[in-house]
Amino acid sequence: MTSKIDNNLKTKDMKRKPWFIKPSTKENLRQYWYKFSRNKLSIIGLIIVTISILFAIFAPVITPYPQHVREYVDYSSAKLAPNSEYIFGTDVYGRDMFTRVIFSFRGALYMTVIVLSLSVPVGVILGLLAGYFNGTWVDTAIMRVTDIFLALPPLILALAIASVLEPNMTSSMIAVTIMWWPWYTRLVYGMARSLSGEYFVKNAELIGASKAHIIFREILPNCLSPVFTKMALDVGWVILMGASLSYVGLGEQPPTPAFGQMISDGSRYLPDLWWLTIFPALAIAFIILGFNFFGDGVRDMFDTGR
């Protein structure tokens, strides 16, 4: 009798597709691409995302003056308006703005990767636990704590946490991570809760599958596409949050450039040195817009309805 159940489990496991893409045949990949590319804006988003990532990786190669991201002063070339040599102009210390803007992509994307790769797993696991053990003390404990974090405007909580720590990049990443996980917990909680009442979960329980198996092999795969969608849509928000923190001086410290910090410094020299503010602002708009278009495309891609 037991061996029969084991056999059943085995065949079921063997049939299971890789967890990240449900049916990973060529046909399905093509379908995903079709759904993603139906909207022209998603393609534009993909292009912007690719460019941003390339900027971030190859910043020292593509920028003309990589030494300008460190302490560097050359008053002979200071405060130059955009021209053929310095296409974004130079700042008050004579540093090339183009170089500094491109290097800021690095910090922004680095922060996004760290924040999402720390907060998403934590949020998802807590959401799975609370959703599967719904109605028990696990559910209550996790979800009440989540409610508290969600009861404050995100930026304010991040500002408060970053302000009591040392003002640097690590602190701002810690602050944003701490306020980011609850959104994933709430997202996954709802799905895990309704999935835990489904027949396939009940069946797995009946044949004696372990709790870990049920949570991670039965429930988790069915929650992944909304999580990926949210991650794609969140990149723009993390960058925005990082820029807001660095705008008030709680993020990356000078001389390392960051979008918010450059806008904040540049706005002191308005309107004469307008290029110090406008180009970082355009860069933020570019990267946030690109990731939003891309995120919308990812959402269309996983959208099974209609």
Residues that bind another protein (CB under 8 A): 144-145, 147-149, 151-157, 159-161, 163-165, 236, 240, 243-244, 247-250, 260, 263, 267, 270-271, 274, 277, 281, 284-286, 288-289, 292
Rg (CA), the chain: 24
The 3-class SS string of 91-121 reads CCCCCEHHHHHHHHHHHHHHHHHHHHHHHHH
Residues contacting 118, CB < 8 A, separation 6+: 177
Whole-number Å distance between alpha carbons of 281 and 295: 21
Q: Are 73 and 88 in contact (CB under 8 A)?
A: no
Cβ atoms within 10 Å, residue 302: 16
Phi-psi region of 210 (alpha: psi -120 to 50; beta: other; left: phi over 0): beta
Task: Round to whole Å and give the CA distance between 171 and 149.
Answer: 18
- In degrees, to the nearest 5, what angle opens at C-alpha 54 toward C-alphas 52 and 57? 110
CA atoms of 61 and 63, how far apart (whole Å): 6
For 250, list phi and psi in degrees, rounded to 5. -105, 5
Q: Considering beta carbons, is residue 94 or 182 the nearer one to another protein?
A: 182
User: Are the C-beta atoms of 185 and 123 separated by less than 8 Å?
Assistant: yes
Instruction: Judge contact between 129 and 135, C-beta under 8 A.
Output: no
Question: Between residues 27 and 166, which has the closer beta carbon with respect to another protein?
Answer: 166
Residues in contact with 30: Cβ distance below 8 Å, sequence separation at least 6, in sequence order: none
